[in-house]
Amino acid sequence: MPGLNKLPPFPEDIPTHPLLVIDYQLLKEGNEDEINRLWEAATKLGFWYLKNHGADREVDEMFEMGEETMKLPLAEKMKFSQGEEGASFGYKVAGSYAVDEKGTQDTVEFINISKDDALAWPNKVHREYPSTVNSRMESTIKPFVQKAVEVNGLLIDILNDKLGLPKGTLAAKHKLLEPSGSEARCIKNPPRPGGVDDAQTALGAHTDFGSLSFLHNRLGGLQVLPPGSHSWYYVKPLPGHAVCNVGDALAVFSGGILHSNLHRIVTAPKEQAKYERWSSAFFTRPANHVELTPLTDESAMIAEAVRHSPDPNRFRTGQTSAEWFARRVKYQRIKHWTVDRRAGQPAEVQSNIHRHKPLQFDKINMGLLVALVYTALTNSSALLTCLNRLNKLPPFPEDIPTHPLLVIDYQLLKEGDEAEISRLWDAATTIGFWYLKNHGADQEVDGMFEMGEKTMSLPLDEKMKFEWGDEGGTFGYKASGSNAVDEKGTRDTVEFINISKDDALAWPNKVHRDYPSTVNARMENTIKPFVQKSVVINGLIIDILNDKLGLPKGTFAAKHKLLEHCRSDARCIKNPPRPGGIDDARTALGAHTDFGSLSFLHNRLGGLQVMPPGSQSCPFSHQPLPGHAICNIGDALSVFSGGILRSNVHRIVTAPKEQAKYDRWSTGFFTRPANYVELVALTDESPMIAEAVKNAPDPSKFRTGQTSEEWLARRVKYQRIKNRTGPESWHASKGTEHSEPDQAVSV
C-alpha cells in the first residue's frame, strides 16, 4: 500500500490495552498451551492478536482493492450502496450510520464483499460490485476470503471443543457453501486535519454481529472497553498481526462463555490522526437460517452457564442469524433514525443491544410526546393546527430509492469545527446538496408555511394582480402552469409566492414591487425574520466555501452584499395533491439547476429528486427530515468556482405513494449575487479555481458574459410558457447543466 512507510508510529505514551498474542501455527499444530491461551483470550476480553496467520499478501492486496474502490466517484460507489433495509453487502457511504444514541453520524466508508459472491465468482449469489472489486475478485478477494475462512474455521473448531460441544457442532452452523452474512471488508476513515484535537468517533461502540472477526489495521483507532471498566483503551496495531475478536453469535451459542466485547473506532492517536485510516477484515457469520440460541442441549458447560446467568433470556434471541444481522445493520442507519426536532429526543436506538440492552426498547410514542411538549410550549392555535396537519401527513415510504445526503451541523460550522467544514466541502463539491441541522430557523419556517397557506387561499384573480409577468421577473406570484417543465412545453403544476430580500428588509418601504395583503401582514413578523436568518446562515456557508476555495477572505461576501440590490428571495411553493396518487404522477417543476448561489429549502413531503453526478437515470428522492433544511449550490457559485462547487440537476415530482394525495408545500430562501456582479470564474483570485478552469473540458462555460441579473432573467423568461416558441426556448432557459451532455435528464 503506497505511503505506508511514511505513517508515524503509534505513540508510546498513551494507555493501551494489552492483548494476548496467539500463534496460528501453534494452534494448527494442536499446541495445548497455545489453545489454552486462546481460550483465555476468548472468554475474558474476547480480543487477541493473531500472528503467523499467513495472509499478509492477501491483506496487502485487500488494502489496494479498497483504495482503488474508494477513489471511484461517489455516484459510482452509490450504485452499489447497501441500501437502508439491513443489507450489508456493497458500499456504505460515510455518514449513513449513527455512532451514538444522539444520532451523530459515522465518518467511515466501507466496501463489503459477500463470502458467497467471492467464492461463486464469476457467478452472482447476492449482488453486483464496483468494477474495482470485480477486477480483483479472482486474484485478491477470493484468496483473502479462503484464507480467512480457514483461519477463523480452525479457531471456531478449537473453541467448539473447549466448550464441550460435540465435534463439528459450530462448524455445522458455518458451512462454507450455505449462504450467510460472512463478508470481506475494506474500511476508509478520513484523516482529522486538526489531529486529535478534532477527534470524533468514527464508528460507534458496538459488539460484532457475527461469530469471529479477523481484522487488520495500519494505524491506531480501535478501542476496547474492558469488562468492568468505564474507560476506553486503544489497541495498538502490530505489523503482521491480525486483531481477532468474538462476535454476538458465538457469545449467544456459548451462553456468554465466549465474550463479545464492546469496541469502537475513534480518531487515531496524536500524529497518526492526520492520516487516512484503513482497515481490512473478514467477518465469519453463521449461515442465514441458523437460529441464534445457546446450545444448552449439546454442552453441559453451556447449560450450566445459562442456568447461572443473571438473565438467561438474553441468549434466546428468537432470531435467525440473518434476522439478527439485518436488524442490527438496519437500525444503525441514519435513515432509520427518528428524532423529532421539537422534542429533540431519540425515538429508538435498537442496533447495539446485545450486551447492555434488553432485546427491544419500548418505542416511545413520539407523536404523543411531541404534542404534549408542544402544547406545553405554546397556546398558539395556529401552530397547533399546523402541528395537527403535520401529524396527519403519511410518512415518507421506506421502500423507494433515496439519495443519502450528508447532515451538516450549522452550530458546528459556526464554531469553526474543521471536521464539519470538511464534510460541508465534501457535500458541496460532490453532489452539491446536503441537509443542514441546528440552523435555528424552525419558528420562521413554520411562519413562512402559514403565510404561504394564507396567500394561496386568496382568489386567483387577486393573486394574479401580483403575477411575475413574462419578462424575467421573479418577485410576486407565479400561477400554476405558467412555466414549461420540459422541451415539449409540458406545463408545471406549482404556485409560488416570492418575496424579494430587498423588499423584506426595506419594509414598509418598497424597493421592487407590491405584494398581496397576506404577505404585507406578515412582512414584519415572519418574512423579515426569515430573510434575516437565512441571509446569515447562507452567508456563513458561503464564507466557508470562499476560504476552502483559496479565495482571499470576503471575496464571495463582496459579491453578496446585504444592501445591494439582488434577486435573492424568500419563497413559499404549493404543489396540489394528485388525487390518484402516483398513478397520476407528473413532473411538478422540471429538471433544473438553481439560478443563484445557495438555496435553503424546507419540505414537509417527498417529491424533490436529484440526478446524482454521472447517473443517467433513476433520480433519487430526498427524504424530508423534520427540522433539517436541504441546502444546495446554485449556478453562480458553480461558475465563480470554475465548477469545483457543484450545481446539481434536480426537479420536483409528485410526492411518493400515499404522500401524493396531500398538498405539497415548500419554503425556502435563495441567495443570489448582487445584480451587477458578473458571472465568471474567479481565476485571478484563486490558483485552485484557475487550475479547475484550465482542466475543464469546456472552460468557456465559466465565462457566461452575463451579470447575475441577466443570467437569472434569461433563465426565468425562457421557462415561461408565453415565451415558448419550441424546444429552443426551453434550451435557452438552461443554466450550468447546459454544456454537460452527460447531465441531460429526460423527464
Of 130 and 221, nearer to Fe ion (C-beta) is 221
What gap in Å lies between CA 124 and CA 127, rounded to an integer? 6
* Angle, CA of 505, 511 and 514, to the nearest 5°: 95
Question: Hey, which bits of 398-444 come out as E strands?
Answer: 407-409, 433-437
Of 340 and 594, nearer to Fe ion (C-beta) is 594
Scanning 485-527, the segments in alpha helix (DSSP H) are 501-506, 517-522
Q: Which has the closest alpha carbon to 144: 60, 48, 242, 243?
A: 60
Binding mask 158-197 for Fe ion (x = CB under 5 A): ----------------------------------------
Of 212 and 370, nearer to Fe ion (C-beta) is 212
In the complex, least distance from residue 593 CB atom to Fe ion, rounded to whole angstroms? 7
Of 99 and 682, nearer to Fe ion (C-beta) is 99
In the complex, least distance from residue 650 CB atom to Fe ion, rounded to whole angstroms? 6
Of 446 and 594, nearer to Fe ion (C-beta) is 594
Could you say which residues in the range 388-407 bind Fe ion, by CB under 5 A? Answer: none
In the complex, least distance from residue 452 CB atom to Fe ion, rounded to whole angstroms? 17
Q: Which has the closest alpha carbon to 77: 64, 65, 61, 92?
A: 92
DSSP letter string, 85-98: SS--SEEE-TTSBB
DSSP letter string, 5-56: GGSPPPPSSS-B----EEEHHHHHTT-HHHHHHHHHHHHTTSEEEEE--S-H
Q: Do 335 and 606 form a contact (C-beta atoms < 8 A)?
A: no
Residue 503 interacting with Fe ion (CB under 5 A): no
Could you say which residues in the range 202-221 bind Fe ion, by CB under 5 A? Answer: 208
Measure Cα distances from 504 to 509, 524, 527, 712 in Å: 9, 8, 7, 20
Scanning 481-563, the segments in alpha helix (DSSP H) are 501-506, 517-522, 528-548, 555-559
Q: 63: phi > 0 → left, psi -120 to 50 → alpha, else beta; which?
A: alpha
In the complex, least distance from residue 172 CB atom to Fe ion, rounded to whole angstroms? 25
Grid coordinates in use for 702?
A: 465559466
Of 299 and 352, nearer to Fe ion (C-beta) is 352
In the complex, least distance from residue 264 CB atom to Fe ion, rounded to whole angstroms? 8
What gap in Å lies between CA 446 and CA 461, rounded to an integer? 26
Q: Do 352 and 205 form a contact (C-beta atoms < 8 A)?
A: yes
In the complex, least distance from residue 355 CB atom to Fe ion, rounded to whole angstroms? 13
In the complex, least distance from residue 247 CB atom to Fe ion, rounded to whole angstroms? 8
Question: Applying CB under 5 A, which part among 156-164, 388-396, 590-598, 730-738 lies near Fe ion?
Answer: 590-598
Name residue 476's beta-bridge partners. 498
Q: Could you tell me which residues come within 8 angstroms of residue 597 by beta carbon, excluding any fewer than 6 positions away?
A: 538, 542, 556, 560, 633, 634, 636, 637, 671, 672, 673
Of 100 and 271, nearer to Fe ion (C-beta) is 100
How many CB atoms sit inside 10 A of residue 554's CB? 11
Q: Could you tell me which residues come within 8 angstroms of residue 50 by beta carbon, excluding any fewer than 6 positions away?
A: 21, 22, 24, 151, 214, 241, 242, 243, 244
Q: 334: phi > 0 → left, psi -120 to 50 → alpha, else beta; which?
A: alpha
Of 502 and 594, nearer to Fe ion (C-beta) is 594
What gap in Å lies between CA 534 and CA 671, rounded to an integer? 8
What gap in Å lies between CA 398 and CA 381, rounded to an integer? 32
Could you say which residues in the range 408-447 bind Fe ion, by CB under 5 A? Answer: none
* CB contact burial 7-44 (16+ within 10 A = b; e otherwise): beebbeeeebbebbebbbebbbeeeeebbebbbebbbe
Question: Applying CB under 5 A, which part among 147-155, 201-209, 249-257, 322-330 lies near Fe ion?
Answer: 201-209
In the complex, least distance from residue 668 CB atom to Fe ion, rounded to whole angstroms? 8
In the complex, least distance from residue 599 CB atom to Fe ion, rounded to whole angstroms? 6
Residue 594 interacting with Fe ion (CB under 5 A): yes
Of 116 and 594, nearer to Fe ion (C-beta) is 594
Name residue 598's beta-bridge partners. 633, 671
Question: Applying CB under 5 A, which part among 252-260, 435-443, 591-599, 671-679 lies near Fe ion?
Answer: 591-599
Of 346 and 735, nearer to Fe ion (C-beta) is 735
Could you say which residues in the range 550-589 bind Fe ion, by CB under 5 A? Answer: none
In the complex, least distance from residue 209 CB atom to Fe ion, rounded to whole angstroms? 8
In the complex, least distance from residue 716 CB atom to Fe ion, rounded to whole angstroms? 12
Of 47 and 556, nearer to Fe ion (C-beta) is 47
Residue 248 interacting with Fe ion (CB under 5 A): no
In the complex, least distance from residue 594 CB atom to Fe ion, rounded to whole angstroms? 4
In the complex, least distance from residue 265 CB atom to Fe ion, rounded to whole angstroms? 8
Which residue bears the cell 405513494?
A: 657
What gap in Å lies between CA 271 and CA 7, rounded to an integer? 9
Q: Please tell me the count of residues contacting Fe ion according to CB under 5 A.
A: 2
Of 183 and 208, nearer to Fe ion (C-beta) is 208
* Helix, strand, or coil (residue 587): strand
Binding mask 600-619 for Fe ion (x = CB under 5 A): --------------------
Measure Cα distances from 141 to 113, 238, 464 in Å: 8, 23, 65
In the complex, least distance from residue 268 CB atom to Fe ion, rounded to whole angstroms? 16
Question: Applying CB under 5 A, which part among 9-17, 127-135, 200-208, 369-377 lies near Fe ion?
Answer: 200-208
In the complex, least distance from residue 553 CB atom to Fe ion, rounded to whole angstroms? 29
Q: Do 251 and 143 form a contact (C-beta atoms < 8 A)?
A: no
Of 69 and 217, nearer to Fe ion (C-beta) is 217
Grid coordinates in use for 581?
A: 396518487
Binding mask 447-476 for Fe ion (x = CB under 5 A): ------------------------------
Of 603 and 615, nearer to Fe ion (C-beta) is 603
Of 58 and 594, nearer to Fe ion (C-beta) is 594
In the complex, least distance from residue 589 CB atom to Fe ion, rounded to whole angstroms? 7
Of 208 and 444, nearer to Fe ion (C-beta) is 208
Binding site for Fe ion (CB under 5 A): 208, 594
